[in-house]
Structure 1
Amino acid sequence: MFRGNLKGSSRGSSTSATSLIFCRPTLRMSTRDFMMLVTRLRRPIAVVFRSLCAARLSSFQPMQDVRLSDQQVEFYRENGYVIVEDILTDDQLEVWRETIDEAVAERGNDWTLPQKGQADVTNVELEYYTQVFTQRINLWQSNSKAHSLVFKAAKVFARLACQLEGIKKMRIWHDQALYKEPWANPTSWHVDIPYWSFDSTHAISVWIALDDATEKNGCMYFLPGTHKIIKNGYEKKGEFTEIKIGKNMADIFKAFPEVKSAHSVAVPMRSGSCSFHSAMLIHGAGTNMTAGRRRAMTVQMMPDGSKFNGKQNILTNKQFESLNIGDVLNSEDQNPLLYDTTSTT
């Protein structure tokens, strides 16, 4: 498994020649300086604290010149995934945890999509599925702090995604928090792209570990190279075969018997690290056999110019009814452009 470390991380240093530099400023202020600021401004502490939090959040602007190594890109294209270790500093990780936890909590127990009351039209066996993980989609649309955090980071993630996929422009399809609760069910083998409202061989996801993801608490598993098999099937049939996340881990092999003998790879990650995986890669996650949560935040991205294929997925009823098959999914309200390699700004 190829892992790329980041210089400047307090959670581990790299001796690899393929290290990825990803350093960002943090806001630091002593208690004495904080109280002096409050006194000088003569403003309530709560107001000043909120201002400092906003400044702290805005300081988490990723560097715009981050690049993956040629070895990482080659590994991704061959295997369908790549791990980037310590992409968040300890301070940044804490902000991510606080922000995403708040956004998830705002949704309550059964408010998966931003539009309260909208039914899940993608998944089956919901009684089982809801015990696989707590899934909260498009937090950027319902929480202002999540919006700011996700989009500042997503611009960098989209740049890296364009590099991995060899394309010029990337839009957001959706974000989602995936929290494996204590004793949660396993996530059965599946492929992402068949669920989505567009077809593409260049769609990609980034999965950010907010907690250490281990084989004990439900880390990700991949079947390396299976993105090529899924792509070949799509090119022959003109459509992707959809397998729901249900109770039976082996359902995927009914659709793709040729991968039954594939070698699975566990992908444990330290908190603050991330993985990129092709939307065509077969993947899943283990059971959480611990009394603690395993938190992750993800961003799913689609190439600019992707067209509606007739599936609703995460689209609102209003959006779904307004689209015709073949319409370009380029709404800046629903699918903003994250990165354009041709832009000079």
Structure 2
Amino acid sequence: MKRDAAKALYEQQGYMSAIPILSPEELQQARDAFADLERKHGEDYTAYSLHNVHKEYDWVMGLAKHPKLLEAVTAVLGPDVILLDSRFICKYPISKMQKSNGVIQPNNTCDKEKDGIEKPEAMPFVAWHQDMKYWGFDGGPVLSVWLALDDSLEDNGALQVIPGSHHSGLLPHYQSKRAGNMLSVNQEIPEELVETEKAILCPLQAGQMSIHDGLLVHASDPNTSNRRRCGYVIRYVPTCTYPIQDPERPRTFPATVLVSGVDKYNHFSKTSSL
């Protein structure tokens, strides 16, 4: 697909999926390197806590600056692009959970209710949300990447999106009432505001990526398979964006990197060029 057509499709539906990025050799190298981090830190940590490690590991920066990945990103955002933030997210397989009284319990751990009785934890999921809700910047869009290190399919909790929902602007988010939400501040768009009947699944093969707009409503279900679902999530913005002080959107950006073009604005004063 030509760049102009790709940009038009992205702007219309708010996402694109199944974009091939990594060669088999590149994918294996990334999986091997991630396995080293799992051995070093443990899976409880690597599930969600590998945040902004693109400045710590050259191989991670290599993923974030992969030429095929940046080709798709710059087709949407233009030639001058900053890496805003990144994180590995893993949903580990059901085989690493224990069934207790018919309820799946991650990592053999329990929560205690007020009466002291232990109850099994819920399976991890990602609630319906928009990435922009807690990102404190303005002046331009954010584009989110999911670069799949594993196959991402329906049974292991692939991304679901509501096409075109980015045109509705920023929706209200409240604290999720469901246990297991992986989002860092437990945010969730109320169900009555989500047109779930329009939801589209975005399956990926390992080495492919999806991209979506920061206002696109999206979510993912629990991993009910016996396979891991791991991906590298990267946020990109055009250099014209700038940080703002907003208590409703408190996220700061200590690890920004210019990954394409030039930055004539220098709105993110700590941005480096690697």
TM over 0.5: yes
The structure that has the greater radius of gyration is 1
Task: Tell me which of 225, 247, 251 is aligned to 2:178.
Answer: 247
Q: 1:339 and 2:260 equivalent?
A: yes
TM-aligned CA distance change 1:92 to 1:224, over 3 Å: same
TM-aligned CA distance change 1:143 to 1:285, over 3 Å: same
Q: State the match for 1:198 in structure 2.
A: 137
Q: Which has the higher contact order (CA 8 A, sep 6+)?
A: 2
TM-aligned CA distance change 1:191 to 1:226, over 3 Å: same
Q: Amino acid of the residue matched to residue 251 of structure 2?
A: N
TM, length-normalised to structure 2: 0.71
Q: 1:179 and 2:90 equivalent?
A: yes
TM-aligned CA distance change 1:138 to 1:228, over 3 Å: same
Gaps in structure 1 of 5+ consecutive residues:
1-17, 19-67, 113-132, 234-239, 320-333
Superposition deviation, residue 304 in structure 1: 1.0
In structure 1, what is the Cα distance between the partners aligned to 2:136 and 2:127? 21
Task: Tell me which of 137, 142, 159 is aligned to 2:56.
Answer: 142
Q: 1:87 and 2:21 equivalent?
A: yes
Paired residue secondary structure (1:212): coil
Paired residue secondary structure (1:137): coil
Paired residue secondary structure (2:166): helix
Q: State the match for 1:157 in structure 2.
A: 69
TM-aligned CA distance change 1:137 to 1:261, over 3 Å: closer
- Deviation by residue 1:165-200 (Cα, 9 ceiling, x = unmatched): 4x3421011111110112442211010012223135
Higher helix share: 1
Q: State the match for 1:327 in structure 2.
A: none
Paired residue secondary structure (2:156): coil
Q: Amino acid of the residue matched to residue 85 of structure 2?
A: H
Q: State the match for 2:161 in structure 1.
A: 222
- CA contact 2:140–2:238 (8 Å) conserved in 1: no
In structure 2, what is the Cα distance between the partners aligned to 1:304 and 1:88? 26
TM-aligned CA distance change 1:305 to 1:201, over 3 Å: closer
- CA contact 1:191–1:282 (8 Å) conserved in 2: yes
TM-aligned CA distance change 1:293 to 1:151, over 3 Å: closer
Which residues in structure 2 correspond to 1:1-345 (within 5 Å)? Answer: 18=1, 68-103=2-37, 105-108=39-42, 133-147=47-61, 149-153=62-66, 156-165=68-77, 167-183=78-94, 184-230=123-169, 233=170, 241-243=172-174, 247=178, 251-253=188-190, 257=193, 259-260=194-195, 263-310=198-245, 311-313=249-251, 315=253, 334-340=255-261
The number of aligned residues is 227
- CA contact 1:85–1:270 (8 Å) conserved in 2: no
- CA contact 1:208–1:274 (8 Å) conserved in 2: yes
TM-aligned CA distance change 1:190 to 1:70, over 3 Å: same
Q: Amino acid of the residue matched to residue 150 of structure 1?
A: L
In structure 2, what is the Cα distance between the partners aligned to 1:201 and 1:78? 17
Paired residue secondary structure (2:235): strand
Q: Amino acid of the residue matched to residue 243 of structure 2?
A: F
Superposition deviation, residue 156 in structure 1: 4.7
Q: Amino acid of the residue matched to residue 194 of structure 1?
A: K
- CA contact 1:201–1:280 (8 Å) conserved in 2: no
Gaps in structure 2 of 5+ consecutive residues:
95-122, 182-186, 265-274
Paired residue secondary structure (1:269): coil
- CA contact 2:157–2:222 (8 Å) conserved in 1: yes
In structure 1, what is the Cα distance between the partners aligned to 2:203 and 2:129? 19
In structure 1, what is the Cα distance between the partners aligned to 2:153 and 2:18? 16
- Deviation by residue 1:27-46 (Cα, 9 ceiling, x = unmatched): xxxxxxxxxxxxxxxxxxxx
TM-aligned CA distance change 1:313 to 1:282, over 3 Å: same
Identity of aligned residues (%): 21
- CA contact 1:103–1:142 (8 Å) conserved in 2: no
Superposition deviation, residue 253 in structure 1: 3.2
Superposition deviation, residue 209 in structure 1: 1.2
- Deviation by residue 1:100-138 (Cα, 9 ceiling, x = unmatched): 3334554446667xxxxxxxxxxxxxxxxxxxx534211
- CA contact 1:175–1:299 (8 Å) conserved in 2: yes
- CA contact 2:51–2:86 (8 Å) conserved in 1: yes
TM, length-normalised to structure 1: 0.58
